[in-house]
């Protein structure tokens, strides 16, 4: 990824968090990145292209962090706990993801995780599926992986308690579905 692309994605993420999809203006992205508006259009085609690039970049960052944590602990369940804790803690710090989840300042972004969230769900499920397959060879783990990711996303969207309780719920469901 070029330096310009990175600058544009960073500027786009900041402005999306502040103004939402409908309030995002390509001229503001260009100004914040120190380039012409035409450069933004040349790089992404249109506003939707920019938003997709921002989403892909954020998803990649999250999935890289999750995969890293899954490899750190030999216990598959503690590794999952660590990976989901990372996700929840990153979400608290990430202004754009917080805006997507809460609708604060950007209520039109929630569909990017819910009704248009298939890319995130699919990629996250694959990461968890690979992890489970390594620890439980020969077992069908797809159901557990997808259920676990969906539950974690649900806790992100509508927290029902503290972080440790959420982690316990996610890991308990994963263990239970693997034992079924």
Report all structural domains of the chain as residue ranges with CATH numbers, in order of start: 55-179 (1.10.357)
The span from the CA of 173 to the CA of 102, in Å, is 25
Length of the chain measured in residues:
180
Give the angle subtended at the CA of 106 by the CAs of 102 and 109, to the nearest 5°. 80
pTM of structure: 0.82
Dihedral in degrees, nearest 10, Cα atoms 19, 25, 28, 32:
70
pLDDT at 117: 63
Residue 49: closest CA among 36, 40, 39: 40
Residue 105: closest CA among 16, 12, 7: 16
Helix, strand, coil percentages (3-state) for the chain, rounded to 5, are 80, 0, 20
pLDDT at 65: 94
**How many Cβ atoms from other residues are within 10 Å of residue 51's Cβ?**
18
**Cβ-contact 144, 174 below 8 angstroms:** yes
Per-residue pLDDT of the chain (180 residues; tens, 9 = 90+): 789 999 999 999 999 888 888 899 999 999 999 999 999 999 999 998 998 899 888 888 889 999 999 999 999 999 999 999 998 888 888 878 777 666 566 666 666 655 556 777 889 999 999 999 999 999 999 999 999 999 998 888 788 888 899 999 999 999 999 987
């Amino acid at each position: 990824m070029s330096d310009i692309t990175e600058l544009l994605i960073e500027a786009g993420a900041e402005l999306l968090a502040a103004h939402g999809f409908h309030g995002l203006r390509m001229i503001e992205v260009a100004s914040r990145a120190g380039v012409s508006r035409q450069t933004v259009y040349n790089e992404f085609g249109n506003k939707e292209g920019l938003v997709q690039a921002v989403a892909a970049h954020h998803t990649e960052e999250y999935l890289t962090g999750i995969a890293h944590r899954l490899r750190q602990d030999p216990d598959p369940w503690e590794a999952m706990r660590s990976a989901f804790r990372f996700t929840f803690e990153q979400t608290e710090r990430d202004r754009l993801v917080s805006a997507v989840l809460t609708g604060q300042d950007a209520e039109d972004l929630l569909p990017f995780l819910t009704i248009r969230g298939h890319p995130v769900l699919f990629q996250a499920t694959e990461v968890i599926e690979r992890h489970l397959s390594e620890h439980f060879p020969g077992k069908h783990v797809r159901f557990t992986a997808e259920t676990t990711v969906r539950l974690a996303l649900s806790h992100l969207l509508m927290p029902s308690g503290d972080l440790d309780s959420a982690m316990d719920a996610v890991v308990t469901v994963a263990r239970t579905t693997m034992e079924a």
